[in-house]
């Protein structure tokens, strides 16, 4: 299905999901049960489009776009990046990774998503690149060359989940402005660098230090060299964690330019917007950092839940810290066809911000029943966890596989969109894929 048609579908569903159901499928819904009733004609039509009868149509929620029609095959033109990635925007580059390309235990660099707010630096010279440590709460401001960083501090490698705070934004209703990420603004690669803590301790922190902020060498879209693209940060406690890195390598190689070459911060489990790319400067602050995209409505959600569409004053918005529990089905690919068999291996990844994932379940009947699948421990804290299980389909037809992770505090992914917020952050609803058994 072509991109514009998919977009049209989402827009239609965003406006009024029940009306869209009626328009597209002739699906009527029962307002009490939120369940969609497919009349005979509608059921047959939906089945025709999906290529098979929807076996558990009885359980299919109203206002749900079938996963089987959300696929894309657009080619991708950036050198060093996988041709199967999906472009959301090309100025600046914003590119996501389809779920089936996240099947590796460690995300290869060519499959890492790209989220740029401005234009990456041109002609990066690693021989002259420097990192400055400054700010009102640093004892001795310092500047290091890349070579000095590598020589002076011990090297560490961690697998870390980077997920954009806006991953999943495409589902919000009313829609939220910004890149319409579906499920693919996430990666878990092996990052190598020095501990931010070691560098901060070398420069020395004053007692009043509460936050760090970063500055990178990317250029504002306006072309104005004095305009900062983005400057976010984390509280000192997160900055001093064992896994908080200033990294120059990913999976044993130089970081791709689009992902921050030659130096970037990596804070696993927090919105990836905290992980400054093309890192030039870190400031130690005696207050919450207030750089561009740290204040106002950016990377913030209402401190208390609000009704969809509510306007929320800046002072009632809270900074996103740890990301919520989430998972993705990486095999089979959405829209897969199972021929001559009824049993299927399903696998994927699960993560939970600062926490770990304790349980993983899948459903083939739109969440009416769930089956526990096996779940591995993370390679290290803040890495994602691999899960896998077998599902059995009772008969031929169209199915959706839904996946649900539960974290160590007992918090599970919601099956539908969680707390609406003005900018469309933190959508950790269950991932689902379509499978046809023929």
Ligand X SMILES: Nc1nc2c(c(=O)[nH]1)N[C@H]1C(S)=C(S)[C@@H](COP(=O)(O)O)O[C@H]1N2
Q: Is 105 helix (H, G, I), strand (E, B) or coil?
A: coil
Residue number with the smallest Cβ distance to Mo ion = 164
CB of 213 to ligand X, least distance (A): 12
Cβ proximity to ligand X, 265 vs 356, nearer residue: 265
Residue number with the smallest Cβ distance to ligand X = 216
**Partner residues linked to 328 by β-bridges:** 349
Q: CA 139 to CA 294: how far, in whole Å?
A: 24
Pair of tokens at residue 385: 């966890």
* Partner whose footprint covers residue 278, from ligand X, Mo ion, none (CB < 5 to 8 Å by kind): ligand X
CB of 229 to ligand X, least distance (A): 5
Cβ proximity to Mo ion, 164 vs 405, nearer residue: 164
CB of 162 to Mo ion, least distance (A): 9
CB count in 10 Å sphere of residue 208:
11
Q: Contact, 373 vs 359, CB < 8 A?
A: no
CB of 46 to ligand X, least distance (A): 35
Pair of tokens at residue 17: 């999901």
Residue owning tokens 């099947």: 103
* Partner whose footprint covers residue 218, from Mo ion, ligand X, none (CB < 5 to 8 Å by kind): ligand X
* Partner whose footprint covers residue 179, from Mo ion, ligand X, none (CB < 5 to 8 Å by kind): none
* Partner whose footprint covers residue 285, from ligand X, Mo ion, none (CB < 5 to 8 Å by kind): none
Interface residues with Mo ion (CB under 5 A) are 115, 164, 273
Handedness of CA 251, 254, 259, 263 (dihedral sign): positive
CB of 146 to ligand X, least distance (A): 16
Cβ proximity to Mo ion, 62 vs 265, nearer residue: 265
* Partner whose footprint covers residue 259, from Mo ion, ligand X, none (CB < 5 to 8 Å by kind): ligand X
Q: What is the 3-state secondary structure (H, E, C) of 326-383?
A: EEEEEECCCCEEECCCCEEEEEEEEEECCECEEEEEEECECCCCCEEEEECCCCCCCC
Pair of tokens at residue 214: 């970063």
Cβ proximity to Mo ion, 30 vs 90, nearer residue: 90
CB-based contacts of 337-342 (< 8 A; 24+ apart in sequence): 337/51, 337/435, 337/436, 337/438, 338/393, 338/435, 338/436, 338/437, 338/438, 339/438, 342/392, 342/393, 342/394, 342/437
Cβ proximity to ligand X, 366 vs 425, nearer residue: 425
CA angle 102–96–385, rounded 5-degree value: 30
Q: Is 423 helix (H, G, I), strand (E, B) or coil?
A: coil
Q: Contact, 429 vs 412, CB < 8 A?
A: no
Q: Is 398 helix (H, G, I), strand (E, B) or coil?
A: strand
Interface residues with ligand X (CB under 6 A) are 112-118, 162, 164, 216, 218, 229-230, 259-260, 272-273, 275-278
* Partner whose footprint covers residue 118, from Mo ion, ligand X, none (CB < 5 to 8 Å by kind): ligand X
Cβ proximity to ligand X, 164 vs 196, nearer residue: 164
Cβ proximity to Mo ion, 115 vs 289, nearer residue: 115
CB of 188 to Mo ion, least distance (A): 16
* Partner whose footprint covers residue 421, from Mo ion, ligand X, none (CB < 5 to 8 Å by kind): none
CB of 122 to ligand X, least distance (A): 14
Cβ proximity to ligand X, 27 vs 281, nearer residue: 281
**Partner residues linked to 9 by β-bridges:** none
CB of 93 to Mo ion, least distance (A): 13
* Partner whose footprint covers residue 326, from ligand X, Mo ion, none (CB < 5 to 8 Å by kind): none
């Amino acid at each position: 299905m072509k991109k514009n048609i998919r977009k049209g579908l989402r827009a239609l569903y965003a406006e009024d999901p029940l009306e869209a159901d009626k328009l597209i499928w002739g699906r009527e819904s029962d307002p009490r049960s939120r369940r969609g009733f497919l009349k005979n004609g509608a059921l047959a039509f939906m089945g025709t489009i999906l290529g098979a009868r929807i076996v558990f149509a009885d359980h299919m929620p109203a206002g749900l776009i079938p996963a089987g029609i959300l696929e894309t095959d657009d080619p991708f033109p950036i050198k060093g990046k996988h041709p199967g990635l999906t472009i959301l925007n090309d100025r600046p580059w914003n590119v996501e990774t389809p779920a089936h390309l996240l099947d590796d235990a460690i995300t290869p660099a060519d499959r890492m998503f790209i989220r740029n707010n401005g234009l990456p630096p041109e002609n990066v010279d690693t021989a002259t690149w420097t990192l400055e440590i400054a700010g009102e709460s640093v004892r001795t401001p310092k500047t290091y060359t890349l070579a000095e960083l590598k020589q002076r501090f011990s090297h560490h490698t961690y697998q870390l989940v980077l997920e954009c705070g806006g991953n999943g934004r495409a589902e919000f209703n009313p829609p939220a402005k910004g890149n319409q990420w579906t499920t693919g603004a996430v990666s878990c690669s092996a990052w190598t660098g020095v501990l931010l803590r070691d560098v901060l301790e070398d420069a020395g922190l004053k007692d009043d230090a509460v936050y760090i902020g970063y500055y990178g060498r990317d250029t504002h879209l306006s072309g104005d060299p004095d305009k900062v693209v983005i400057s976010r940060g984390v509280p000192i406690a997160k900055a001093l964690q064992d896994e908080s890195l200033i990294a120059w390598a990913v999976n044993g190689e130089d970081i791709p330019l689009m992902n921050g070459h030659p130096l970037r911060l990596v804070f696993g489990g927090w919105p990836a917007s905290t992980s400054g790319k093309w890192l030039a400067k870190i400031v130690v602050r005696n207050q919450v950092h207030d750089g561009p995209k740290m204040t106002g409505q950016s990377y913030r959600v209402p401190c208390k839940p609000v009704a969809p569409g509510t306007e929320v004053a800046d002072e009632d918005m809270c900074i996103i810290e740890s990301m919520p529990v989430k998972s993705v089905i990486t095999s089979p690919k959405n829209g897969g066809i199972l021929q001559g068999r009824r049993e299927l291996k399903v696998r994927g990844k699960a993560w939970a911000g600062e926490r770990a994932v304790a349980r993983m379940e899948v459903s083939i009947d739109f969440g009416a029943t769930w089956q526990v699948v096996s779940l591995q421990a993370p390679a290290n804290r803040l890495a994602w966890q691999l899960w896998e299980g077998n599902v059995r389909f009772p008969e031929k037809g169209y199915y959706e596989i839904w996946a649900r992770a539960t974290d160590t505090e007992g918090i599970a992914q919601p099956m539908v969109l969680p707390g609406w917020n003005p900018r469309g952050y933190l959508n950790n609803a269950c991932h689902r894929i379509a499978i046809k058994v023929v």
